[in-house]
Amino acid sequence: MMFPFKRLQNKYFQPVFSLQWTIFIWLGIAISNNHAVSANQSQLEAIEIAGISISTPVDRIDTTLQAQGYTQVNTSLYTKEEPLQNGRSAIYRIEIEDTPVMREISYSRSLSGGRIKSPTLRDAPIPDSDVDMVQQLYRAVCLNLSETLQKERSCAPYSPTNASFGNGQSIPVDDHFTVLLKATDANTIIRIKYSK
C-alpha cells in the first residue's frame, strides 16, 4: 500500500520542492542585489566634493563652496586657484546642473604652468585635496564586485598615483547614477549624475 504512494510522492512532490528551492534562491539573489544597489546608492549620495554632495540642498551650495574658497562665476560654475611651486597653480572647477529630472556635480582639478613650466613628477601621488573623494568614489563603483562587473566598468587597479574607471567616459552604475573618475597628480576629473 505504501509503494504507490511513494511513487506518487517521487513523481509530484519532488518537482514542487525543486521549484520552491529555485524560487527561494532567486529571491535571495534579488534581495542581495537590491541591498547592494541600495548600499551603492547611499555611498554615492554621501560623497562630498568640496563639502557638497548630490543630496546637498540647493540653498546651501553657494555658502558651502564659498567657505571652501570657491568664487561663483555664474549660476552653475565655481572656480578656485591655488599657487603651487615653480610658478604653477592648481585650478579647481565645480559645475552643478540641477533640473527637475536630474542633478549633476562635475569637479576638475588641473595644473596651469607659470613662466617656468616644470613637468610633474612621474610617480607623484594624487594630492591630499582629492584623495578622500577619489577613494570613496572608486570604492563605491569598483570594490567588492565580480570580475565581470569590474571589467564592464573598466576599473583600473587603484594606486596612490592613479585611480580611474570608465576609460574616460561616464558609466551607469544603477538606474539613477552615472559616474566618471580619472585622477592623477596632474589632474582629476569627477562627475556624479543622479537622474530622478
Q: Tell me if 42 is assigned to some domain.
A: no
Strand ranges inside the chain, DSSP E:
71-72, 77-83, 89-98, 102-112, 163-165, 171-172, 177-183, 188-195
Residues 6+ apart with CB under 8 A from 135: 158, 163
Identify whether residues 152 and 84 lie together within a single domain. Answer: yes
Residues 179, 138: Cα–Cα separation, whole Å: 10
In the predicted model, residues of the chain with pLDDT beneath 50 are 17, 19, 21-39, 117
Identify whether residues 32 and 84 lie together within a single domain. Answer: no
Identify whether residues 11 and 95 lie together within a single domain. Answer: no
pLDDT at 22: 41
Per the structure, the count of domains in the chain is 2
Q: How many helices and strands in the chain, by DSSP H and E?
A: 5, 8
Identify whether residues 103 and 175 lie together within a single domain. Answer: yes
Pair 169, 175: CB distance under 8 Å: no
pLDDT at 86: 79
Q: Is 145 exposed, middle or buried (0-12, 13-18, 19+ CB in 10 A)?
A: middle
pLDDT at 34: 41
Identify whether residues 53 and 99 lie together within a single domain. Answer: yes
Identify whether residues 119 and 80 lie together within a single domain. Answer: yes
Identify whether residues 82 and 168 lie together within a single domain. Answer: yes
Helices 14-46 and 128-142: crossing angle, nearest 10°? 170
Identify whether residues 54 and 122 lie together within a single domain. Answer: yes
DSSP character at residue 87 = G
Total-model pTM: 0.77
pLDDT at 38: 47
pLDDT at 148: 95
17: containing domain = 1-37
Q: How many CB atoms lie within 10 A of CB 128?
A: 7
Q: How many CB atoms lie within 10 A of CB 124?
A: 12
pLDDT at 161: 96
Identify whether residues 94 and 170 lie together within a single domain. Answer: yes
Identify whether residues 110 and 172 lie together within a single domain. Answer: yes
Identify whether residues 84 and 32 lie together within a single domain. Answer: no
Residues 62, 67: Cα–Cα separation, whole Å: 9
Residues 36, 41: Cα–Cα separation, whole Å: 8
